[in-house]
Amino acid sequence: MPEIAETSHNLIRSRRNPLVRRIRQLHDAKGRREQGLLLLEGTHLLQEVLRLNLQPAEVVATETWLQRHQPLLERLPGPWPLCTVCDTVLAAMATTQHPDGVLLTLSNAALPASGNRPRSRDGLWLCLDAIQDPGNLGTLIRTGLAADVSGLWLADGADPFQPKVLRASAGAALELPIWRGPRDALAERLRELQSRPGLQIAASVPPHQGGSPYWELDWSRPTALLLGSEGAGLAEPLLALADRRVTIPHAPAVESLNVAVAAAPLLLERQRQRLTRHPQPAAAG
């Protein structure tokens, strides 16, 4: 069992306890920056931390949760302090309406380093322009991980480490190298990436903005895929960098797809092309 702080023996019952204020500060970007910590809520994210072998900064749990999940805690790499709180104190710390009894904090330093080092020669970078909705961003991050992207580059938009995005990404935000900065800086990064041999920048646009069907692109080439924001789409300075525009054709009854929905076929097309070119042998039996 990891080292446990004194607080574990003293059940915290008061919402005025300084711990409550400190954890609540992590709801906002400013508090996360100042404390250098992220707030992860719920058993699923704790399991992701365990799977990734990350060491929490601290764990806060109710007695009921502890009775049911003690073995999980024992597998978390330590040492870390454990604080036991009553239900109302946990609810005061959480951003969700119905917290499941546990939350933990994680140092920013525990996250994968951001950067542009490709994980493979045929790298795929997911570049998002000012995504506003935390649910969309979380879904995009999760799909990016499923597509084995080399990195996620964000121009402004929602904070990928806010609790809502972390939940919607089902923890994928803890695993992907994520860079976030102003749109100009993203454009600069893309220009640098463009100097790599064979690299292509593909801007995804709704059908009314032209573009060829996405399956016509050779996704085996190193590719930076750009997706635009929910309202305005891709900003002109990013569109201008694209070597190709790709689209998912659909009925004209809708002008465009939700950005997180559009990302799934685009991001997974690389895998589809790979599997079609090199079919996997059928399983015996």
Ligand X SMILES: C[S@@+](CC[C@H](N)C(=O)[O-])C[C@H]1O[C@@H](n2cnc3c(N)ncnc32)[C@H](O)[C@@H]1O
The footprint of ligand X (CB under 6 A) covers: 204-207, 227-228, 230, 233-234, 247-248, 250, 256-257, 259, 262
Sequence-separated contacts (24+) of 192-201 with Cβ below 8 Å: 192/116, 193/116, 193/125, 193/224, 194/241, 196/222, 198/222, 199/223, 199/224, 200/224, 200/243, 200/244, 201/226, 201/241, 201/242, 201/243, 201/244
Nearer to ligand X, 223 or 256 (CB): 256
| Least spacing, CB of residue 257 vs ligand X, in Å | 4
| Least spacing, CB of residue 199 vs ligand X, in Å | 19
- Bridge partners, residue 62, by sequence: 85
Nearer to ligand X, 94 or 266 (CB): 266
3-class SS at 107?
strand
| Least spacing, CB of residue 268 vs ligand X, in Å | 14
Nearer to ligand X, 26 or 262 (CB): 262
CB-count exposure of residue 43 (10 Å: 0-12, 13-18, 19+): middle
Q: What's at 50, amino acid-wise?
A: L
3-class SS at 223?
strand
Nearer to ligand X, 71 or 252 (CB): 252
Nearer to ligand X, 11 or 261 (CB): 261
* Position with the least CB separation from ligand X: 233
| Least spacing, CB of residue 189 vs ligand X, in Å | 18
| Least spacing, CB of residue 125 vs ligand X, in Å | 14
